[in-house]
Chains A and B, each alone.
Chain A
Amino acid sequence: MSVAAEKNTAIRTRGVTKSFGRGESAVKALKGVDFDAHCGELIMIVGPSGCGKTTFLSVLCGTMRADEGSIEVFGTDIVHLGTGTLTAFRGQNVGFIFQQFNLIPTWNIVENASVPLLINGASRRTAETAARTLLAEIGLGARLSAFPSQLSGGQQQRVAIARALIHEPRLLICDEPTASLDAASGRKVMELLKGTACRPDRCVVVVTHDSRIFHFADRIAEMEDGVMKSVHKPGEYNPQYV
């Protein structure tokens, strides 16, 4: 592989496996996943429910340990990082968007969006100023003192996007970001992701089985039963499992 290609590589995994449970009831969720993603792209991972997408995302961003295999994220071998270093690595390099938003209900949206900066040691003032600016940019400037429960699902997911981007992580991990949203809100969220989150030095990984948003992807990786089956261009992809 050339130096230029390596520089362009955001994620590279080889032979990643992960099982849950032991003995007879053990579930082999990942059976040797090889996966590559590049800087500047939005790559989707699709596949039927239970095929291991979420598990793969978890080991990819280091919230869960893989059993075997190698995982490199922007050149860092995260398999061999200690727990503390791995946690700090996530704090600095990974932004998260979840299906369930996971906003903290007792904090207003500015506080929610500022959390990653606070975790990384920024002052409250710096963090909240940055959060206000970013929330205004994504169209929530009028609701800055609102609490998550006062917002619609689409608006909450936009707060989550602000939270995921505030510390300018290089890797953005999104697990079913539109699954809890109606079609219009889902499209808005994806437009926002595509427009604000995608940058030449950043890689956005979106797990989904929402075929309405496939066209936002640069590439689509199809997973099946714990392995990556194939990679497609969005226009050429016609999922068989739907």
Chain B
Amino acid sequence: MTSQVDQSEAVGGSDGEGQGAAPPPSGGRSRPAKPIRRLDRVIIRFAGDSGDGMQLTGDRFTSETASFGNDLSTLPNFPAEIRAPAGTLPGVSSFQLHFADHDILTPGDAPNVLVAMNPAALKANLPDLPRGAEIIVNTDEFTKRALAKVGYAADPLADKSLEAYHLHKVPLTTLTLEALKESGLARKDAERAKNMFALGLLSWMYHRPTHGTETFLRQKFAKKPEIAEANISAFRAGWNFGETTESFAVSYEISPAELPAGTYRNISGNLALSYGLIAASQRSGLPLFLGSYPITPASDILHELSKHKNFGVRTFQAEDEIAGIGAALGAAFGGALGVTTTSGPGVALKSETIGLAVSLELPLLVVDIQRGGPSTGLPTKTEQADLLQAMFGRNGEAPVPIVAPSTPADCFDAALEAARIAVTYRTPVMLLSDGYLANGSEPWRIPEVEELPDLRAEFATGPNHTLEDGSEVFWPYKRDPQTLARPWAIPGTPGLEHRIGGIEKQDGTGNISYDPANHDFMVRTRKSKVDGITVPPLEVDDPSGEARVLVIGWGSTYGPITAAVRRVRADGGKVAQAHLRNLNPFPANLGAVLKAYDRVIVPEMNLGQLALLLRARYLVDAQSYNQVRGLPFKAAQLADVLFAAIGTLEGDEQND
């Protein structure tokens, strides 16, 4: 074991077997003569004031790490306020990155390294640090005033309160200013480059390639070359500082991970989702129309899609959420792939229109990037408490298929899957991502376009029904016997003129009908259509084949649950794991899977919404494990829960 690594995702003791010879140093520069230690994984957290550029620093370190070939997972965590009061605890912004020489699943439970740009960042993050972790602090910010602002009576750098950690005291601001004294920049501007100094230092510590960051800075500040050069100078100064100063005695090497062959890039959930939507448009041949109203954490999708008009993508920033989905539905009526993107509060506003789409039976994608609720809740934090809203949040019987991605990269495939269902079955579909997936990132094996599903849609072109008198007519609600989908006849098609609306329609003709039996039939038919959607069977992972405890989750808990399962198994525990991606309809084998285990544990970032559905639908004693802290689960925490479940079963046996 090396000092830097905790056990949060240890796999079969592979941790830190590395006193072995370090491979030749990598990175653009000659390596110092300092010792190099090899690690199999590291968790770093950059923390500072919201104005300190911590998200950018984290992003850059992530890009360097991705291009180096480590597996990685990130957790940005920032306040909802754009400029929260400087130097305060609520104003702290952080970015956590976990990277490894093997496949990992989460941003990590506890950082091995904390970069704290000010006392607030130290104070806010210290409780998460295990003993022995390294802390790099910017001593320049530890002034009496700044300490007092966050309630430090004494300077923690001076007393013994940080004795349990490896503390590196670095005057980051002074060093940055010194490095930039020739730049001619005003002190204030020069100071702002201190995050790049920190990035340079960390890049040295972990042998990150530096070329990408320099190119990035030149592009980002193309219009202000002096700022670009200052940032690059600070970045290099940070690197050189690591190489020369005695305060950093060792550097660390983490070999590239062995991922399946392919070309990779790093991707966040919202970017993957945006690309998935464009891919769905291309693969279906339907022009993409996005109607949306800005809301965190979904706005990035609106921003991203707005950049791709050369794909025939139309983006419409509406006056509100209702208009956003209304316009998307109007476009869908006209033959577009209609999409609306939002978060929970926006879904609430869209409910009535989703119901209309259910009744009109038109394809429509409703993307909900969930965040902490109720009401405005925690706009920048994650939660998965909109499941029941997605499932039931409409008047009348209005079933809507639900798809939930499990990782940032999976947002791409989930978007394609949602589009497949919408287009094939002519129905609105809910795509439930969340803040953690949206902003978190991981390496993604870039698919070949030909590998992507063929989503080609067919519009109706002519009559589909023969009346008793032999005449040929078009019936807008005559269904495909297999899928129960109705024909999609778009304006501009001669002979198929028809009127649809939210009032109940007569089966077949689509004419207004208040007939009781017809309504009963139509309600049941719409439900049968959704129930009959083909979805892949639920896969269960149980290498031992002997597990009696099943852990089942959905959405973004996949990473922490899987990491917990690995821990349990590494310690000899037997646990089966399954993860739901299709939440409506559920996979056909779900009931059988649930019934095959003595205990079913359902961890969720809500108060038990999936568990409620499983209990109601399958009459199983599914047990909830819940957390609504705006943060993902930790692997260690879930592993304890699973151990406890296994333990109680064994206890039962002894009592028998």
Is B one of A's binding partners? no
